[in-house]
Structure 1
Amino acid sequence: SMNKSYKFSGFFKNNFLKFILSVCILITFLSCNFITEKLTALKEEVFNENKKQDVNNSGDNQSGENIFNAENVVFYNKYVAASNAVYDAIERIQQSYLSMVPDVNKVQKNSFLTAAFFVSSVENLESVIKNQNRSLYDDGELSKLKTENENMKNDLETAFAELLKSAEEYYETSKKISRYYDSKIFKDDPSLIRTYDEEIRLKYKENKIVSDEFISVLESYKPVITIRNPDDFGSQDEKSTVVLLNAYGTILEAAEKFNKNFKRWNKGEDLFELKKDLENLKRVYDEEKIKVMD
């Protein structure tokens, strides 16, 4: 069938494909960040007269707090980027571990295991956690974000702090296991091979639960997207702002759909639907880029 034509075999091919797809989504999010920065530099009066309309058009926004203005867009987008950094670092460790120990039953004293990538992945997570903690607590980027929606600010800060706590627990486990293999301790004491395998898989599942909880909180505060007609506004700055805002919202919708399905995709699964989402994201991005550049 056509679906089967998009299947790939082998761990390396699957992870190389994930890497390529990650690059694509990163480029898209970087473009969104660019639009966000442009929005913050322009006058926000263009959004104010439509706030009431934003609230009325949203069934999920009874409080009127999820307004799709520059301030809320920046706040939301920064937490998307921060959580993605943590998620990607943990995925990198887990996949490198599974590559190193694909079958725990086959690891023996004389097994040749290369732990270099696993070790570097653990070090990368350590760096990510330190950076995100500084950002959240030490007068960093996340701590300086502003929004009139105090509920969003408090809930996201609390949920992200829990995500970092869970990531730290996963890091401590992976660090211990990386030393076990990198220092060849498993050759002298193979009794911990199975124990450590169960432990890292458990910590990964626990982190996934916390990550899903964070995403649920994040999505509950997703700014309401309203597509406006640039011709309804007077000055050229206002028109330009609306074009950028429309482009951001449209790209964000397509990017989030792809990103959500991408994160659910597992090695060996069919890629046909994911490929369609990626093609749609590229089409939407290209179309909106033309509108912005006009």
Structure 2
Amino acid sequence: MNKIKFISALLITVILVTSCSIVDKLKEKLGSKDSGDKKEETTKEETKEVTSTADLEFYNKYIEVSNKVQDAGEKVYKDYMSSIPEPKSISKSDFIIAVSFKLSADNLERVYKEYNRSMFDGGELSKLNASDEMKNEIEGNFKDVLKGMQEFYNTSVKVAEYYSSSEYKNDLSKAVGYDEELKAAYGKYKAAFDKFSASVKKYKPQRKQRDIESISNPDEKAVAILMNSYENTLDAAEEFYDEFSGLEFKGDQQKSKEFFRKFEDTFKKEKEIVMSAEFSDKTKYMKYSYEDYFSKMCKMFTDAGNKFYDKSPDAKDEREFNRLYDDVVNNYNYMITAYNTNINIVNSFRVY
């Protein structure tokens, strides 16, 4: 009887041990599955973050592209209209100076080739990534702009050569036809550009002001201060440029001037915040880049803007007005390039 009891107890013990082992393995499996799920969620979150950063870089680059393409195209048309008289009124004895028009046409060709190669020949634009919808829409529209630019610059170069070489003195019959051809090419380019520009602005990222006081890590705080400053300055610059673009000789400058003053105030305020902030040895290089590059480009831009608003109302002719206007545009683009360079530096910083 005792022997039977002993055997029964032994069997029960074996069953209990085996059951515990099975339960432990089951827990281990479940734990492993949970861990896998968590890892998968983390990976998805990281991918989302990378995509968001890529979208921002994509947007910033195409804002720069948009500004440069617009400036090149508009300058050609503006110089043509100011340099070349009404074609029907031209006589063989007229002395037409088409130097500015020819230089603008040559520059449009250069800008076209730069971005066409960048898009189709393994350049920077071909390597940019963004969310599918954003990438497909903006790139698709920009390819249409490139087609319009090609036709516009081919026509512009031909017409510019006609006047700069004084061919018109020997053959006036082409003047009216060239005028119609150039304006038609400009119209196609402008329609494509406007569609492209609208698609870029459609994807403008939502700015999120970072709460500086809530950040305890000094390096994270430095990054947040810089990001706030860059983004606030850029927003003010874009507001100004939207009003400034397309200003004409003897036109109303009041609204654009108000936005320019707003930009000056914003930049001054943001610069004071950055320059008074604490930066560690790990983050000082970002402050120096702000101070030595971006800040200087902003200063050059504001100098050009002040000169424009001081002198352009009394410009003696459209040519003088255009020189002042172009100086603002060029310095604005230098500032945007500095912004893109520096914002990428800040985005690449990692706190360890």
TM range (shorter): 0.7 to 0.9
Q: Does 1:98 align with 2:81?
A: yes
**Which residue of structure 2 lines up, in the alignment, with residue 75 of structure 1?**
58
Q: CA deviation at 1:255?
A: 1.4
**Which residue of structure 2 lines up, in the alignment, with residue 202 of structure 1?**
184
The residue type paired with residue 145 of structure 1 is L
Q: CA deviation at 1:66?
A: 11
RMSD over aligned Cα atoms: 2.3
Give a deviation string over 1:94-120, Cα, whole Å, max 9, x none.
122122114334311111011222222
Change in CA separation of 1:237 and 1:72 when aligned onto 2, cut-off 3 Å: farther
**Which residue of structure 1 lines up, in the alignment, with residue 119 of structure 2?**
136
Aligned counterparts of 2:91 and 2:83: Cα–Cα separation in 1: 13
Q: CA deviation at 1:177?
A: 0.5
Q: Does 1:274 align with 2:256?
A: yes
Q: From 285, 291, 294, give the equivalent of 2:267.
A: 285
Give a deviation string over 1:114-165, Cα, whole Å, max 9, x none.
1222222111111111111121122211222233x22212222111111111
Say which structure, 1 or 2, has more relative contact order (CA 8 Å, 6+ apart): 1
Aligned counterparts of 2:117 and 2:223: Cα–Cα separation in 1: 32
Percent identity, aligned pairs only, is 35
**Which residue of structure 2 lines up, in the alignment, with residue 150 of structure 1?**
132
Q: CA deviation at 1:199?
A: 2.0
Give a deviation string over 1:246-279, Cα, whole Å, max 9, x none.
1222122211111111124233311111111111
Which consecutive residues of structure 2, in runs of 5 or more, have no partner in the other structure?
1-41, 277-352
Which consecutive residues of structure 1, in runs of 5 or more, have no partner in the other structure?
1-47, 52-64
Say if 1:68 and 1:223, in contact at 8 Å, map to a contact too. Answer: no
**Which residue of structure 1 lines up, in the alignment, with residue 242 of structure 2?**
260
Q: Does 1:88 align with 2:71?
A: yes
Relative to total residues, which structure has the larger helix share, 1 or 2? Answer: 2
After the TM superposition, list the runs of 4 or more consecutive aligned residues in structure 1 that deviate by more than 6 angstroms.
65-68
TM-score by length of 2: 0.61
**Which residue of structure 2 lines up, in the alignment, with residue 20 of structure 1?**
none
Change in CA separation of 1:215 and 1:153 when aligned onto 2, cut-off 3 Å: same
Deviates more, 1:172-181 or 1:97-106: 97-106
Deviates more, 1:167-176 or 1:230-239: 230-239
Aligned counterparts of 1:72 and 1:293: Cα–Cα separation in 2: 29
The residue type paired with residue 144 of structure 1 is K
Say if 1:230 and 1:243, in contact at 8 Å, map to a contact too. Answer: yes
Residues 158-177 of structure 1 correspond to what in structure 2 (within 5 A)? Answer: 158-177=140-159
Q: Does 1:121 align with 2:113?
A: no
Change in CA separation of 1:248 and 1:135 when aligned onto 2, cut-off 3 Å: same
**Which residue of structure 2 lines up, in the alignment, with residue 15 of structure 1?**
none
Instruction: Find the residue that maps to 1:142 and give its secondary structure.
Output: helix
Larger radius of gyration: 2
TM-score by length of 1: 0.73
Change in CA separation of 1:74 and 1:292 when aligned onto 2, cut-off 3 Å: farther
